[in-house]
Structure 1
Amino acid sequence: MRSSSTLGFAEAEKAARFLARRWKGTPRIGIVLGSGLGGMAEQLAEPHRISYRAIPHFPIPTAAGHTGMVHWGQWNGVPVAILEGRLHLYEGWRPDQVAFPVRVLAQAGVRHFVLTCAVGGIARQAVPGSFMIFSDHLNFQGANVLAGVEEVRWGPRFVDLSEAYDPGLRALARQAARRLKVRCFEGVYACVLGPSYETPAEIRALRWLGADAVGMSTVPEVLALRALGRRVLALATITNRAAGLVMRPLTHEEVIRRARESARRLTGWLDVLVPRIVESASR
């Protein structure tokens, strides 16, 4: 049920303490799983999990493919926390509610984040089954999680986004992809409100503006995390060609199916990438 109350610093602090009491040490990396990618949490060794419903103040996702679980354990020897279940503005949530789960992890001490999502491909190389490393974004959601009453403990109001997506983490992702022969490219992500898919005219406009892929999530979390000074890497699985670029209609069922098909390759990519992220932080 959506609450009308603001999810502020005090609520995040309470939720963070709740999780920290259950963790054996602070996770080094927080991972957010996008639509259809929930099965990747099975990768964890020494796994634990808890429902969002059991965590103080946590909102409950309603979108298909987002179950609402926090997992923690070892990913290839690295302690991580995984959010299986993302909130979207199109579900009726406010920006502070959408960003609340990642803010809680950050408040609990997590310093590095890998955000994943399923997107529609616009650029020629953005074909189903490939992956995109976010280099930048265009925010067309009409909302910003940093707007509203200022809370200095969430970081500065006026955040520099020149390097919203950490260049060092992007370089590590490229290196791991080359090693594994993962088909990927770097590109600009257009974030729209949804839930309707874009029109062909909108896709033509987004392409003209420089977008390589389009989706309905991730940017609110990025804004919140960058304000907190966290390092962010965003990886997208291309599940479909955007409207007007193919002759068949788009469906959410196809998005979920193709995301699940990509999950094994994304898991292998993270197997190599996760330890390297931790190594880079200790240099």
Structure 2
Amino acid sequence: MNEGDKFDKTITNYVEKVQQTVNYIKEKTSFTPEYGVILGFGLGSFTDDIKIEHILPYHEIPNFPVSTVQGHKGALVFGTIGDKKVVAMQGRFHFYEGYDMKEVTFPVRVMKYLGVEKLIVSNASGGVNVNYKVGDIVILKDQINLLPEHPLRGVNDERFGTRFVNMSEPFSKNMIAKAKELASRLSIEVKDGIYLGLQGPTFETLSEYRMVKILGADCVGMSTVPEVIVARHMNLETFGISVITDIGNEESIESITHAEVLEAAQKSEPLVRKLIKELILNY
């Protein structure tokens, strides 16, 4: 077998795994969602807003990775918000857990083939914008990819999307405008900003925070970027939202812990939940 045949077999196997997973989920749920939601760190209780019809733990789903991070529950939740059908990921997968990028983004592929047309991604991040404070809610307007592996690296399968993806609008301008309108109506203060993705799992050093700021980002985290790239590859309209859980300066960096990040995310969770719910209902 030559190198080309090996690569072709690899992508064929990946496509077959996606289809196998989709078939399993359809047989279990008979559910066709319009919205996909990836619930980030400390935001897993959004599922309380869903009228739940099915819950599938990740470990029961063929080919699905399993989340290893505290604060990520690890299940696909199917149900409705108003008249909108939704599938929510309680917990995502990260490159730093040891998964490769195709595994990290596997659920996005599956959601597309289940019928999802719009994807909402959430995360917790460290802020470098001087106008941010802990607990701020940031609507993402762009992203910078500094992760060491690209999710589209390798042979491209046109069934998934085009070889060279236009990333000029990673986050839907229409969804951003609607979310800001809703936030104003609901008296929810939001900022906007650019998210930069690093590998993790260490929190950033002060010099790394300075680098993030110099590069033009407002916040930094360890997720989201590969999911958004794959979502755009599959032509999913995408919206991103982040909770600032620490500020990258001398005062905060000395004491920041995983538990403190989780606590900060949970304090802002009710407002994030409300905004996401209203966006799904009204967009």
**TM-score w.r.t. structure 1 length?**
0.92
Give the one of 270, 279, 283 matched to 1:273. Answer: 279
Offset of 1:258 from its aligned partner? 1.3
Deviations 1:227-250 (A, max 9, x none): 111100011111111253636421
What is the DSSP-based 3-state SS (H/G/I as helix, E as strand, rest coil) of the residue aligned with 1:150? coil
Q: Distance in 2 between matches of 1:45 and 1:125?
A: 37
Matched residue, 2:139: 133
Helix, strand or coil for the counterpart of 1:154?
coil
Structure 1 position 177 matched with structure 2 position 177: no
Distance change in 2, residues 1:51/1:178 (3 Å): same
Query: Where do 4+ consecutive residues of structure 1 move more than 6 Å?
Result: 4-7
- The reply to whether residue 87 of structure 1 matches residue 77 of structure 2 is no
Contact 1:203 1:244 in 2 (8 A): no
Alignment of 1:108-123 (within 5 A): 108-123=114-129
CA distance in 2, matches of 1:77, 1:142: 40
Shift of 1:268: 1.1
Equivalent residues of 1:73, 1:80 under 8 A apart:
yes
Q: Structure 1 residues 158, 265: CA separation in 2 closer, same or farther (over 3 Å shift)?
A: same
Do structure 1's residue 200 and structure 2's residue 222 form an aligned pair? no
Identity across matched positions, percent: 32
Report if aligned partners of 1:243, 1:250 keep a CA contact under 8 Å in 2: no
Counterpart of 1:244 (choices 237, 240, 250) is 250
Q: Which moved more, 1:40-49 or 1:243-252?
A: 243-252
Contact 2:134-2:245 within 8 A present in 1 as well? yes
Q: Structure 2 matches for 1:21-100, cutoff 5 A?
A: 21-100=27-106
- Name the SS for the 2:28 alignment partner: coil
1:22 counterpart SS class: helix
Change over 3 Å in CA distance of 1:5–1:160 after alignment to 2: closer
Describe the SS at the equivalent of 1:73. Answer: strand
Q: Which runs of 5+ in 2 are unaligned?
A: 1-9
- TM-score, length-scaled by structure 2: 0.92
5+ residue gaps in structure 1? 278-283
Q: CA deviation at 1:126?
A: 2.1
**AA in 2 matched with 1:56:** P
Distance in 2 of aligned mates of 1:276 and 1:47: 21
- 1:7 deviation in Å? 7.0
Contact 1:139–1:192 (Cα < 8 Å) also in 2: yes
